Amino acid sequence: MSRVEELPDDDAHLSSTTYAKSANPVPPLPPHLASTAKMSIDEVAADLKKSPFFMTSIDDAIDEDNVEMEAIRALMYEGTRAEVAEGFREQGNEMAKAKKWADGKEFYTKGILALRVERKEEDPKGEAEDNREMTVKEVCLVNRALCHLELKNFRSCTLDCRSVLALTPTNVKAHYRLSLALLALQKLPDALFACAAGLAHHPSNSALVALHARISSQILAAEALSNKRLAEEMRQKKEAETLIAAIKLRKITTRTTEKPPDLEDASICLVPDPLALTTSTLTFPLLLLYPLHAQSDFIKAFGEEQSLSRHLEYLIPLPWDDKQEYGRNSVEAYMETKEGGLLKWGKKVPLLKVLSGGKVEVVDGLVRANVLPKARAEEWIEEMKKRKNR
């Protein structure tokens, strides 16, 4: 028979310290539980009791900053629901008088919450008590709406006011504050409706009368602005249609690309009247390129009846032309055709005659022309042909 060996009682090599080193380390607690790491079991249990889910006594939350629990504790120790709510209402009134709107809102909220707690057996019951509670609730709600209004919590204000009006449709303060909140939210038709509803019950109330006039004035101003914007949109649309018709009438070819250049406020226009199809003149943004010197000039409005010589009068002499190669009578201009060729633009030829010939197209609303010294024009033309044939 085999013998079972027993470990000696003084076998200290299996101490907890040795085990901790050989086993996997214990993972750290989550951040929200880290504060309990050094607590005893009793301390953890006491801390849990402060949570409503684990609470076994109302006194467990005595140190907690909890609006609902404060209302419940007050109700248990200080009187009936109506009495407690009335006490919170009075404190809220004191805060409102001092313009401490956030504090006032909290007290009114406590008053409302106190009325939601189940009545104690010894509390009075009946219609009179119900009416008393309803009155306190209405006052707390309408006063909390004022706090929301002052704190610019306009949507919360509308909710409280509508709750009041559900209880008492004639409450003038609720109608007034609801109208103000809706006005602040720029819900003008709703604000006017709310104000008119208040005036239906209180036609001589000066505050409502003044507010109704104010809202009506803003509605008229908004309608006028909307009509102005609509008229402007219609005008712009008509101008665009007229411009397209004017370009087609002149048989000018246009094309747009996926990445047009930024011309800022320069564009093809009909002047002086954008709506006069036949009597106004087309003007074009025009880019003069000096390819031999990598320079350029931008003309914002080049009239269709104007010639290049008219603009060369103020452009030449060019500030970068140190060798004085560019003179009014010693330059030539060329435009690229749709097929990729070159078309010579006589300096005295009106722009419209070049554009309406069907050979040149206006790309992305911009006319482009190359200006060269006569003496070097052939050199540039040959270079362009070589590039085309590559």
303/93 Cα distance (integer angstroms):
74
Q: Which pLDDT score, from 0 to 100, does residue 77 have?
A: 47
Check residue 59 and give left, alpha or beta (phi > 0: left; psi -120 to 50: alpha). alpha
Give the predicted TM-score (pTM) of the model: 0.60
109/89 Cα distance (integer angstroms):
9
Do 47 and 55 meet the contact criterion of CB atoms below 8 Å apart? no
292/272 Cα distance (integer angstroms):
37
Phi, psi of 296 (to 5 degrees): -160, 160
| DSSP-assigned beta bridge partners for residue 371 | 333
Q: How many CB atoms lie within 10 A of CB 212?
A: 19
- The closest of 144, 215, 152 to 179, measured between CA atoms, is 215
Please report the sign of the dihedral spanned by the C-alpha atoms of residue 29, residue 32, residue 35, residue 36: negative
Do 136 and 163 meet the contact criterion of CB atoms below 8 Å apart? no
Do 223 and 328 meet the contact criterion of CB atoms below 8 Å apart? no
Residues with Cβ within 8 Å of residue 89, at least 6 apart in sequence = 107, 108, 111, 136, 139, 140, 143
What's the chain's length in residues? 390
67/107 Cα distance (integer angstroms):
9
| DSSP-assigned beta bridge partners for residue 361 | 253
Q: Which pLDDT score, from 0 to 100, does residue 39 have?
A: 75
User: Strand 269-271 to strand 281-290: parallel, antiparallel, or no bridges (unpaired)?
Assistant: antiparallel
270/284 Cα distance (integer angstroms):
9
| DSSP-assigned beta bridge partners for residue 271 | 281
Sequential pLDDT tens for the chain (390 residues): 333 333 333 433 333 333 334 445 556 655 556 666 677 777 766 666 565 445 555 455 445 455 555 555 554 446 899 999 999 999 999 999 999 999 999 999 999 999 998 888 877 888 999 999 999 999 999 999 999 999 999 999 999 999 999 999 999 999 999 999 999 999 999 999 999 999 999 999 999 999 999 999 999 999 999 999 999 999 999 999 999 999 999 999 999 999 999 999 999 999 999 999 989 999 999 999 999 999 999 999 999 999 999 999 999 999 999 999 999 999 999 999 999 899 999 999 999 999 998 899 999 999 999 999 999 999 999 999 888 876
* Residue 275 tokens, joined: 């709506």
Do 346 and 365 meet the contact criterion of CB atoms below 8 Å apart? no
